[in-house]
Structure 1
Amino acid sequence: MNESIETELHELAQGCRVLHMEGHADLTRGHLGYRDPAGRGVWLKRSGIALAEVRGPADFVLLDWKGQRLSGEGRIYKEWPIHTEIMKARPDVRVCGHSHPFHATLFSALDVSLEPVTNEAAYLGGPPGRFEMTTGLIDTPALGAGLAEALGAASTVLMRNHGITFVGGSVAQCVLMGLFLERACCSQLTLLSTSLPYHSTPRAELEAKLGQILDAPLVANFWAFYQRRFNAADLAW
């Protein structure tokens, strides 16, 4: 493994632990994948361990575009097609994540549009896609391709009664998209539970917010915050 890939996988491991810390934990489920820079396939978190237990490069397996192991040890997730099919459909995606955060998974069961009632929803750059082909595992290339189609050009997609998938051009951007979607869903669910009327960000103001998170300095600033928060928490695993 060359030094560049090793560095990326260390950050990917940290991304897994940040997701755990921020409410994306679900037993040993949930995974991040990183596009191999040499075009061989995807480096995917190994199965059988929690997001919080991912410590470094040894916890990732390199798969080719057909899901065959090229490098690394450990079990392979049945949902590897999430990563391969999205990355084949979206050349701009370098990192892809899938998790089951509580509020976003609940929101996926509703026939309600996610509205920009908070900055987090605006930071997504647009509404999440909706995937409804199955509520089960995305364990075939056909289902992975369907998920990629539902994602489209968006940064996130809600998977009916299942969870979410989120993407980015870097570890930081991908993880932030997952965190923001969960917070945006939590905010709207809270408002809906009051049965009171509420307002979304006016379209004229939304235009100024859309895409802000894609600004590299802001991504770096937010990601550094989560890194500091994680380091201070010193999770004991």
Structure 2
Amino acid sequence: MSGTLYGVGLGPGDPELITRKAARLIEKATVIAYPALAGEASLARSIAADLIPETAREIAMNIPMTVDRGPAQVAYDLAAVAVRAELDAGRDVVVLCEGDPFFYGSFMYLYARLKAEYAIEVVPGVTSMTACASVAGLPLSARNEVVTILPAPIFAGSETDGGPARVLEQSDTVVVMKLGRHFGVVRAAIDAAGLTDKAVYIERASTPHEVVLPLSQAPEKAPYFSMILIVKGADPWL
């Protein structure tokens, strides 16, 4: 019989936000897989490090972070081959994923490649979005309010299509994720929409390196693991 593949969400970075189910699976794992940038330590592994058995076989999936999707697709193809070999040998594989596996999570690419052949269980995790809302003290939505999530790269074309600008204007709450090198154009769009005073900048939520600031006071550069929350507060919370 083939093994079972588990996609395990680890939450945004604080090990205490790992769910009990995820912790149990990791502690019992015989094979652990996780994404990593070539030549760098894996963030996913560092979150769960205290739970990983010393006897577990580890598969580091080296995923390049490039604009071109081709290299990453090849990397996931190779990772699927390595994971498939373990599953075919009857061993369960626990794949670690920052945040939630199906919310901008790396696990979804393995899932797409293996779902037709193997039993797979996805264990949800605390998302970076909800972690950021918590540390910023900003309820994301109430009653019929609309929340829109925007990946920062789409702002690069906002001068021509105007899509992000319309979303900024129309949504009650806007979450802009994966800032990185796109931070400048995102910040300019928010300022042009007159929403800077309602925007909060958060980076590395729930970790020792957490930063929470009004957008007007944010640094000039932002890491990939950062986001902006815009909560217009139309609904009376009290």
Common fold: TM-score over 0.5: no
The TM-score, its normalising length taken from structure 2, stands at 0.29
Structure with the higher fraction of residues in helix conformation: 1
The TM-score, its normalising length taken from structure 1, stands at 0.29
